[in-house]
Structure 1
Amino acid sequence: MLTGRTILVTGAARGLGRAIAGACAEQGARLVLADIDSAGVQAAASELGARAVTVDLGDPASINALAEDIAAHEGELHGLCNNGAVATNVGGMAFEDIEIDLWDRVHRVNVRGTWLMTRACSAMLRASGSGRVVNVASDTAIWGAPRLLAYTASKGAVMAMTRSLAREMGPDRVGVTCIAPGILTTESTEYVPAARHALYGDGRAVPGPQSAEEVTGTVAFLLSDAALTLTGQTLPVNNGYVFVT
């Protein structure tokens, strides 16, 4: 389904980003993997036959350099998965206790980084004639998770940006969608308190934990040429923890 398409996945060193990269590789994509963890993303790229690039989503110059690097090496880009993010304070911090520096860091990476990465890649995505952007948000922004305000607000912004970007980029047949998973069982979520994992496991329509691999098929489809009709939509890929009407 992705044969002949060049795909960039950010936050690809581990967790959901690594799993998304694996699913795209299985479907024949030409992959560029990016992460601030240089060693981790290089290891992932080596396993998948992809190319690794180090990027700091909090640094506009680093983001622009990544896009320039892809233009020089691949010469094209059909898909961008904005997965890279920070989840600091997941698991319990009252909104009164959030430090301004923490708030700014979360929004600098999760919101500004998503915008800047999409902006940096937009010319290549438009030129492809079938560009796709998949933003990774969180269902915490749908159901309003408590004691998680910095992260929840940042992911709500990602959902809103998805809708606006879909309208701006649609005339060039660039589709922009968003997924909103809940807590997944990956090495990236091992620090999340067991009580929050249990909250999700007990509350899903399909009870129990959810793996990253249960999400990746949806992302691979959204990055494909067939997904344009879903542009602007946020899909809560969370085994039925929340529903959207």
Structure 2
Amino acid sequence: MSFAANQLLAGRKVLVTGAARGLGFDFASAIAEAGASVVMADILADRLAESVEQLKRRDLAVSGVAVDLADPASIERCAKQAVETLGGLDGLVNNAAITNSGGRSSEQLEIGMFDKVMTVNVRGTWLMCNACLPALRACGRGSIVNLASDTALWGAPNLMAYVASKGAVIAMTRSLAREAGSDNVTVNAIAPGLTLVEATEYVPQARHDTYHNGRALQRAQVPEDVSGAVVFALSDLSRFITGQLLAVNGGFVMN
């Protein structure tokens, strides 16, 4: 799928976290193809540099910045650098997250691991929103897209920390939409289903089969299936949509 023809985001300035690989990389690519200038942020510095160069070779307007979502000071530096690099900010895509609880039941999950997942996925998303909000308000039409997960909608087992964190992201999205609406900033959440990316290679085949067979659209989900929703949520096509959750999972869960 190519977004180059529609230029829905021409002139926009967008920060994408977790953009070195997987869904984040595809989001950054699609957003840049749609005409935006993009700052790609990630904790994986070497991988991020490779990904930025890959998109630059396609003549896309991208740059990279390191960020550790477990470190509030790093989040502040990332947002500041993104605004300085782009000359402002119109959009934020909070994609970065960790799982690290797969295969463990709730009773087996260590407190330290639960805290780590919540720190990155919930606190990190919250602080990144806060760090970017002044610039998003100043632009006159800001957009925040928070990546949730459909696991929070159907209660995936043995993923307690991750599912809890994504449920919190959904709730946080609705609250922030109320707070930011008066400044014409939209805040929405997108909940992908199990998607074929590097990070999901560890997922047992049985779970892939469950998703495949349970979807109304019975095929594997690929990153491009989600990118269109992200571009839409950042564009003027969604300018009167806020506080909403869009499940992009081929009909596995009908929200």
Deviates further, 54-63 or 39-48: 39-48
Unaligned 5+ segments in structure 1 are none
Q: How far apart in 1 are the matches of 2:199 and 2:159?
A: 17
Aligned to 1:192: 203
What is the TM-score with the length of structure 1 in the denominator?
0.97
Aligned to 1:217: 228
Q: Deviations over 1:65-85 (max 9, x none)?
A: 111112322220000000000
Task: Please show how residues 74-223 of structure 1 align to structure 2 within 5 Å.
Answer: 74-90=86-102, 92-223=103-234
What is the TM-score with the length of structure 2 in the denominator?
0.93
Unaligned 5+ segments in structure 2 are 1-7, 57-61
Q: Note the aligned Cα RMSD (angstroms).
A: 0.9
Q: Deviations over 1:177-228 (max 9, x none)?
A: 0001111001121111111111111110001210011110110110112212
* Secondary structure of residue in 1 paired with 2:240: helix
Equivalent of residue 21 in structure 2, options 5, 9, 14: 14
Shift of 1:148: 1.1
Structure 1 moving runs of 4+ over 4 Å: none
Q: How far apart in 1 are the matches of 2:147 and 2:223?
A: 12
Amino acid at match of 1:47: Q
Q: How far apart in 2 are the matches of 1:72 and 1:215?
A: 28
Aligned to 2:59: none
Equivalent of residue 71 in structure 2, options 55, 59, 67: 59
Q: How far apart in 1 are the matches of 2:241 and 2:157?
A: 30
Q: How far apart in 1 are the matches of 2:40 and 2:84?
A: 15
* Secondary structure of residue in 2 paired with 1:121: helix
* Secondary structure of residue in 2 paired with 1:8: strand
Q: How far apart in 1 are the matches of 2:231 and 2:107?
A: 39
Identity level (%): 53
Equivalent residues, number: 243
Q: Deviations over 1:33-66 (max 9, x none)?
A: 0000011111111222311001001100000011
Aligned to 2:51: 44
Q: How far apart in 1 are the matches of 2:128 and 2:86?
A: 17
Q: How far apart in 2 are the matches of 1:19 and 1:46?
A: 14
Aligned to 1:28: 35
Amino acid at match of 2:26: A
Shift of 1:136: 0.3
Q: How far apart in 1 are the matches of 2:232 and 2:26?
A: 14
Q: How far apart in 2 are the matches of 1:72 and 1:140?
A: 36
Aligned to 2:3: none
